[in-house]
């Protein structure tokens, strides 16, 4: 910001900037905008995915909006979003703060924590499904009563397992973001606090947390918008079951489109997903205040 | 000059993307020239038999090659629909006939084989006549029946029955009486891979038939109004939930997938006493269960009658055969290879022998001697009798119905087993979609 006010604007050769954006634009238009327009158009048609596409006005929208499955899927999606945010954020902040220390053992632990992020969601889901199998899983194998629950077969438990596995997978990523955030906080703040006699806990709540405000917003946006598209993990783990206990919106869309051959309603659900995602991203930016792009850190 | 160089750079950056996009479009199997493609299900021992038939054909026809690819059962059902819709279907489409085949036919995606079967009547004559029903749509044949007849059978573990000191059930009442006896010994009465949903459906197929007779589901297929609310249907659904409530099924059944064969393992390891499953299960028990089958511990029977029911106890459901269709998008050469495969590659002597070895009854006529000479002769005779003597051989519901109705059916069946909807809600949910 100061560069613009303090110095005369540097002259950019005309025409180069738009071209630099071109590759990204091509990919974005090709893989985001065109499919989006296509999906929007498809939501006004009837198509079984195999035969001809017939325009049918608002039929698909009427079917989706009157389907009792939609509010349920929206509710499950919202719950996954809220609960996984509430579980992941405190854990990630604490782990990130811990890992921000310069000690060697913390770096080693950091590498260990990071492992889940390098695994594919499908592999994680298959592994957990095997571990949690009520008859051949960990609990049954080791004869540990507490562990041999019907983890994926009872609605509440299955939901809990989904949250746990999602957190297990993504806490490392968000810890990494917070680690970076904490390391950016100037040492002088902590030194001053120490002189004033503030303990570690006081320092955490009075310096670290407030300084991380924008990191929290960034990480939360990623979590919230990301949780709208949870699909692979839940699909492999529970297939939305038992019944429809873990059927999130993305899964509902897939089932309607590819299993029930109702591409029209599936497209309508996809449009709803996009709108919800956009609304949430905008809302989170608002929460961050108007100058969300500005740094909270002095000198940066 | 400078500007044009940048233009070139910009284009260069864009080219890999468009090249990649183009590659996506042209690498599809149905356009890859003179080689025919064939997708089918994996899982031993059946996969080996299928692959063996392809290998034998390829060896015998150096100029006509078939490239095969295998998929998991539940994943394949969506994959094949998507591929066909995208114009990327394999030359030879493996399937179950019935309602799904009808959607392919209505979209003009599969070849009409009626005249080909007319010219090659010898091919038609060597197969079970009953297998052509699910291959026929509006009087025309769109698929070649293949593989084996697969009725649904009630399997049980004799060792477990001896251990508890009880006899196999002869009626629904017996089943309900057995449930607490097994549970008391810590053995699950029935194994079930409930996450796959069609596994639960097999139970309803039998209960509907035994209680209401075949006309009960026939009315549903024909789209009769409120057919699901028939009092017999409600009785069947209620009995189903009574069994679930009595803990008739293994703990955690709703998170077990049939594709993993964990449901089979429960039976042969003696953790479950009984299991309702397709005839293909015998081959799996035989290859995975150690000496379970060879020691004679695997028992099998038809689904018992329900007291006061209208259905004939000989009625059965299942897959009358598997079906091979030819994609109408395939090239002329590919179609020719596929037809040659149908005529000289499908259910040849070697393949017939292998099916019999896995404990299946292939749909080729005149195999009685081979069946009788097999190590699995008793089971094969049992299957053969079911297939040939059943008054009604119903097709699996999810294959008989359209994909849309089938998905809704499976979805509601899962909820019924989860006890999250009542029989009445089940009926009204499905009344709203059948016929569509």
List the domains of chain B with CATH numbers.
35-147+321-365 (3.40.190.10), 150-317+395-431 (3.40.190.10)
B415-421 LR contacts (CB < 8 Å, sep 24+): B415/A243, B415/A244, B416/B200, B416/B237, B416/B240, B416/B241, B417/B194, B417/B200, B417/B240, B417/B244, B417/B249, B417/B253, B417/B254, B418/A155, B418/A241, B418/A242, B418/A243, B418/B254, B419/B241, B419/B244, B419/B245, B420/A155, B420/A243
Residue ranges with strand state E in A6-100: 45-46, 54-55
Tokens of A119: 């695994």
**Separation between Cα atoms, residue B353 and residue B400, nearest integer Å:** 29
CA distance B394 to chain A (A): 22
For residues A45 and A163, membership in a common domain is answered with no
Give B103-143 pLDDT, tens digit per residue: 899 888 898 999 998 888 888 888 888 888 888 888 899 99
pLDDT category of residue B21 using cuts at 50, 70 and 90: very low
CA distance B383 to chain A (A): 30
Is the CB of residue B191 less than 8 Å from the CB of residue B272? yes
**Separation between Cα atoms, residue A246 and residue A55, nearest integer Å:** 32
CA distance B47 to chain A (A): 22
Percent of chain B predicted with pLDDT > 90: 37
Instruction: Spell out which residues of chain B touch residue A26, defining contact as CB-CB under 8 Å.
Output: 13-14, 17-18
DSSP letter, residue B127:
B
Q: Does a structural domain hold residue A250?
A: yes
A24 in reach of chain B (CB within 8 A) = no
Is the CB of residue A245 less than 8 Å from the CB of residue A155? yes
For residues A217 and A272, membership in a common domain is answered with no
Tokens of A174: 């968000």
A57's CB contacts (< 8 A; 6+ apart) are: A44
CA distance B250 to chain A (A): 9
CA distance B3 to chain A (A): 8
SS3 B185: coil
Q: What is the CATH number of the domain that holds A230?
A: 1.10.3720.10
Instruction: Spell out which residues of chain B touch residue A30, defining contact as CB-CB under 8 Å.
Output: 17, 21
Which of A62-66, B21-25, B138-142, B425-429 is predicted with the least confidence, judged by mean pLDDT?
Answer: B21-25
pLDDT, average across residues B260-275: 91
Q: Exposure pattern of A97-131 as b/e (b: 16+ CB <10 Å)?
A: bbbbeeeeeeeeebeebeebeeeebeebbeebbee
Q: Does a structural domain hold residue A274?
A: yes
Q: Inter-chain contact B415–A152, Cβ cutoff 8 Å?
A: no
Q: Does a structural domain hold residue A86?
A: yes
Instruction: Spell out which residues of chain B touch residue A160, defining contact as CB-CB under 8 Å.
Output: none
What's the pLDDT at A10? 58
Tokens of A86: 């509430």
Q: Does a structural domain hold residue A82?
A: yes
Which of B6, B21, B109 minimises the CB distance to A50?
Answer: B109
**Separation between Cα atoms, residue B201 and residue A117, nearest integer Å:** 38
Q: Does a structural domain hold residue A299?
A: no
B182's CB contacts (< 8 A; 6+ apart) are: B160, B164, B166, B188, B189, B273
Instruction: Spell out which residues of chain A touch residue B77, defining contact as CB-CB under 8 Å.
Output: 259
Give A97-116 pLDDT, tens digit per residue: 888 887 888 888 888 888 88
Which of A135, A150, A260 minimises the CB distance to B408?
Answer: A260
**Separation between Cα atoms, residue B248 and residue B274, nearest integer Å:** 10
Look at chain A and report how many structural domains it folds into.
2
Q: Inter-chain contact B195–A51, Cβ cutoff 8 Å?
A: no
Q: Inter-chain contact A239–B195, Cβ cutoff 8 Å?
A: yes
For residues A245 and A146, membership in a common domain is answered with yes
Q: Does a structural domain hold residue A12?
A: no
Q: What is the mean pLDDT of chain B?
A: 86
Q: Inter-chain contact A150–B251, Cβ cutoff 8 Å?
A: yes
What are the phi and psi torsion angles at B251 (to 5°)? Answer: -60, 135
**Separation between Cα atoms, residue B390 and residue A298, nearest integer Å:** 84
Q: Inter-chain contact B252–A134, Cβ cutoff 8 Å?
A: yes
pLDDT category of residue B30 using cuts at 50, 70 and 90: very low
What's the pLDDT at A294? 47
CA distance B85 to chain A (A): 4
Is the CB of residue B191 less than 8 Å from the CB of residue B250? yes
Q: Inter-chain contact B21–A30, Cβ cutoff 8 Å?
A: yes
A160 in reach of chain B (CB within 8 A) = no
For residues A127 and A35, membership in a common domain is answered with no
Q: Inter-chain contact B10–A19, Cβ cutoff 8 Å?
A: yes
Q: Does a structural domain hold residue A133?
A: yes
For residues A113 and A166, membership in a common domain is answered with yes
Instruction: Spell out which residues of chain B touch residue A126, defining contact as CB-CB under 8 Å.
Output: none
Which of B9, B253, B404 minimises the CB distance to A262?
Answer: B404
CA distance A259 to chain B (A): 6
Q: Inter-chain contact B6–A16, Cβ cutoff 8 Å?
A: yes
For residues A44 and A139, membership in a common domain is answered with no
What's the pLDDT at A7? 55
Q: Inter-chain contact B252–A150, Cβ cutoff 8 Å?
A: yes
A151 in reach of chain B (CB within 8 A) = yes
Q: What is the CA radius of gyration of chain A?
A: 24
For residues A147 and A242, membership in a common domain is answered with yes
Q: What is the CA radius of gyration of chain B?
A: 24
What's the pLDDT at B88? 87
Q: Inter-chain contact B404–A241, Cβ cutoff 8 Å?
A: no
**B211, exposed or middle or buried, with CB in 10 Å at 0-12, 13-18, 19+?**
buried
For residues A124 and A265, membership in a common domain is answered with no
Instruction: Spell out which residues of chain A touch residue B414, defining contact as CB-CB under 8 Å.
Output: 241-243
Q: Inter-chain contact B252–A49, Cβ cutoff 8 Å?
A: no
For residues A197 and A89, membership in a common domain is answered with yes
Instruction: Spell out which residues of chain A touch residue B252, defining contact as CB-CB under 8 Å.
Output: 133-135, 150-153
pLDDT tens, position by position, for chain A (300 residues)? 444 444 555 555 567 777 888 889 999 999 989 999 999 999 998 888 888 888 888 888 998 898 888 899 999 999 999 999 999 999 999 998 888 887 888 888 888 888 888 888 889 999 998 888 888 888 777 877 777 778 888 888 899 999 999 999 999 999 999 988 988 888 888 888 888 888 888 888 888 888 888 888 889 888 888 888 788 889 988 888 788 888 999 999 998 888 888 899 999 999 999 998 889 888 888 876 655 444 454 433
For residues A105 and A192, membership in a common domain is answered with yes
Which of B106, B404, B411 minimises the CB distance to A51?
Answer: B106
Which of B407, B414, B420 minimises the CB distance to A260?
Answer: B407
- Best of B254, B264, B406 to disrupt the A interface by mutation (most A CBs within 10 Å)? B254
A238 in reach of chain B (CB within 8 A) = yes
Q: Inter-chain contact A50–B103, Cβ cutoff 8 Å?
A: yes
What are the phi and psi torsion angles at B435 (to 5°)? Answer: 90, -10
Give B346-378 pLDDT, tens digit per residue: 888 888 888 888 888 898 888 888 888 888 888
Q: Inter-chain contact B403–A158, Cβ cutoff 8 Å?
A: no
A66 in reach of chain B (CB within 8 A) = no
This prediction has a pTM of 0.81
**Separation between Cα atoms, residue B380 and residue B373, nearest integer Å:** 10
A50 in reach of chain B (CB within 8 A) = yes
Taking alpha carbons only, the member of B68, B88, B32, B135 closest to residue B341 is B68
Tokens of B67: 């490239």
Residues of the domain holding A40: 30-66+261-291
Q: Does a structural domain hold residue A13?
A: no
For residues A230 and A266, membership in a common domain is answered with no
Higher pLDDT, B152 or B62: B152
| Helices and strands (H, E) in chain A, number of each type | 16, 2
- Best of B255, B263, B414, B434 to disrupt the A interface by mutation (most A CBs within 10 Å)? B255
Q: What is the DSSP string of B283-312?
A: HHHHHHSTTTTTTT-EEEEPPPP-TT--S-
For residues A81 and A221, membership in a common domain is answered with yes
């Amino acid at each position: 910001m100061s560069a613009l006010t303090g110095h005369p604007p540097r002259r950019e050769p005309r025409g180069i900037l738009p071209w630099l954006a071109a590759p990204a634009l091509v990919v974005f238009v090709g893989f985001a905008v065109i499919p989006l327009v296509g999906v929007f158009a498809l939501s006004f048609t009837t198509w079984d995915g195999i035969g001809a596409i017939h325009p049918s006005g608002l039929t698909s929208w009427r079917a989706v909006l009157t389907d009792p499955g939609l509010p349920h899927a929206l509710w499950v999606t919202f719950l996954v979003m809220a609960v996984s945010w509430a579980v992941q954020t405190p854990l990630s902040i604490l782990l990130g703060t811990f890992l921000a220390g310069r000690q060697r053992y913390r770096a080693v632990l950091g590498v260990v924590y990071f492992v889940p992020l390098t695994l594919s969601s499908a592999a994680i889901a298959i592994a957990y499904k095997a571990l949690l199998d009520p008859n051949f899983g960990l609990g049954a194998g080791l004869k540990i009563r507490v562990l041999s629950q019907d983890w994926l077969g009872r609605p509440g438990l299955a939901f809990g397992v989904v949250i746990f596995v999602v957190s297990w997978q993504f806490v490392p990523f968000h810890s990494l973001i917070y680690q970076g955030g904490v390391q950016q906080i100037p040492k002088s703040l902590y030194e001053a606090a120490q002189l004033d006699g503030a303990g570690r806990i006081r320092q955490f709540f009075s310096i670290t947390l407030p300084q991380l405000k924008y990191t929290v917003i960034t990480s939360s946006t990623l979590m919230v918008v990301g949780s709208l598209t949870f699909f692979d993990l839940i699909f492999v783990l529970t297939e939305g079951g038992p019944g429809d206990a873990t059927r999130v919106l993305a899964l509902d869309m897939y089932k309607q489109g590819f299993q029930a051959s109702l591409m029209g309603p599936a497209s309508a659900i996809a449009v709803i997903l996009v709108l919800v995602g956009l609304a949430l991203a905008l809302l989170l930016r608002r929460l961050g205040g108007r100058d969300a792009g500005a740094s909270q850190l002095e000198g940066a | 000059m400078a500007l044009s160089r940048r233009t070139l750079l910009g284009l260069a950056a864009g080219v890999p993307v468009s090249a990649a996009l183009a590659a996506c479009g042209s690498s599809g199997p149905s356009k890859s020239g003179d080689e025919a493609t064939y997708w089918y299900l994996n899982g031993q021992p059946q996969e080996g038999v299928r692959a063996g038939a392809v290998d034998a054909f390829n060896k015998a026809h150096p100029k006509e090659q078939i490239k095969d690819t295998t998929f998991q059962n539940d994943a394949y059902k969506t994959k094949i629909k998507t591929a066909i819709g995208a114009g990327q279907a394999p030359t030879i489409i493996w399937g179950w006939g019935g309602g799904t085949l009808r959607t392919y036919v209505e979209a003009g995606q599969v070849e009409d084989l009626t005249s080909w079967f007319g010219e090659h009547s010898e091919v038609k004559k060597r197969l079970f006549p009953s297998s052509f029903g699910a291959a026929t749509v509006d009087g025309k044949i769109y698929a070649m029946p293949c593989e084996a007849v697969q009725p649904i059978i009630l399997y049980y573990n004799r060792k477990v029955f001896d251990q508890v000191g009880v006899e196999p059930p002869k009626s629904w009442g017996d089943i309900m009486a057995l449930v607490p006896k097994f549970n008391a010994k810590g053995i699950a009465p029935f194994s079930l891979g409930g996450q796959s949903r069609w596994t639960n459906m097999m139970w309803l197929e039998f209960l509907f038939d035994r209680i209401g007779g075949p006309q009960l589901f026939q009315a549903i297929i024909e789209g009769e109004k409120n057919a699901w609310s028939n009092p017999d249907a409600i009785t069947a659904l209620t009995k189903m939930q009574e069994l679930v409530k009595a803990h008739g099924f293994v703990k955690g059944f709703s998170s077990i997938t049939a594709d993993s064969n964990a449901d089979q393992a429960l039976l042969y390891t003696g953790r479950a006493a009984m299991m309702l499953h397709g005839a293909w299960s015998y081959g799996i028990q035989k290859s995975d269960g150690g000496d379970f089958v060879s020691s004679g511990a695997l028992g099998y029977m038809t689904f018992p009658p329900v007291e006061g029911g209208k259905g004939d106890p000989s009625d059965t459901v299942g897959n009358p055969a598997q079906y091979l269709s030819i994609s109408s998008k395939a090239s002329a050469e590919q179609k020719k290879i596929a037809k040659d495969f149908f005529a000289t590659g499908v259910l040849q002597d070697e393949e017939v022998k292998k099916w019999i070895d896995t404990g299946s009854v292939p749909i080729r006529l005149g195999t009685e001697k081979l069946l009788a000479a097999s190590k699995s002769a008793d089971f094969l005779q049992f299957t053969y009798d079911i297939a040939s003597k059943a008054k009604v051989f119903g097709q699996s519901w999810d294959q008989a119905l359209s994909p849309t109705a089938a998905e809704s059916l499976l979805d509601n069946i899962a909820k019924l087993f989860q006890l999250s909807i009542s029989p009445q809600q089940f009926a009204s949910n499905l009344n709203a979609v059948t016929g569509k």
